[in-house]
Amino acid sequence: MPTIKSLDDLKRIREEALKKQELKTTSGKTEIIVGMGTVGIAAGARETLKAILDYVDHNNLENIIIRQTGNIGIDSYEPVVQVILPGAEKVTYGRVNPEIAKVIMDEHIVNKRIVADYKIEG
C-alpha cells in the first residue's frame, strides 16, 4: 500500500496553497490551540478538535493554524480551547464541546467577536 496517495496531488495542493499565501502575506494567521492532556481527552477534547477541523474543512477557512498542547492547567474547565487572532491577545474558552466549538468558530474566528459566554480567565 502506498504511503501517499499521489505525490502529484500533494505537489499541486502545496503550490496552490503557496499561491494563496502570497496573496495574503499581510493578513497574518489565526491560531487555535486545543488542550489535549489526560483530563482534556477524557472530557472530549478529541471531538472538540475534530469539530474545529471539520469547520475549517467545510467552510474552506484558510490561514488558520491548529495546534494541540498538553494540559493547560485548568482541569475543571476542560476541554479548553484558546484562540489568538492576528495581533490580538490570547482568549481562553472553557468546557468547549463540539457545539460550542462551532459557535466559537462562527463568532470569534469568522466574525472576530469574542464569545463572552464561554470565555474564562486562563
Partner 1 sequence: MRELTLHILDIANNSISAGADRINISIVENQSDDTLTIEIQDNGKGMSPEMVAQVTDPFVTSRTERKVGLGIPLLKYAAESCNGWFKISSELGKGTQVAVQFQLSHIDRMPLGDIADTFLTLVLGTLNVNWIFSVKHDDKEFYFDDSELKRELEGIELTEPEVIRFIRSIFEEGIEELQLT
* Binding flag, residue 56, partner 1 (CB under 8 A): yes
C-alpha cell at position 109: 474566528
Asked whether 94 and 74 are in contact (CB, 8 A), the reply is yes
Write down the least CB distance from residue 15 to partner 1, Å: 9
> Which residues make beta-bridge pairs with 105?
none
Q: Is the peptide bond before 79 cis (omega within 30 degrees of 0)?
A: yes
Which of 23, 26, 27, 39 is in the footprint of partner 1 by CB under 8 A? 39
Which residue, 71 or 97, has its beta carbon nearer to partner 1? 71
3-state secondary structure of 3: coil
Residues found near partner 1 in the complex (CB under 8 A)? 1, 3-5, 7, 9-11, 13-14, 16-18, 21, 29, 34, 36-39, 41-42, 46, 49-50, 53, 56-57, 59-68, 70-71
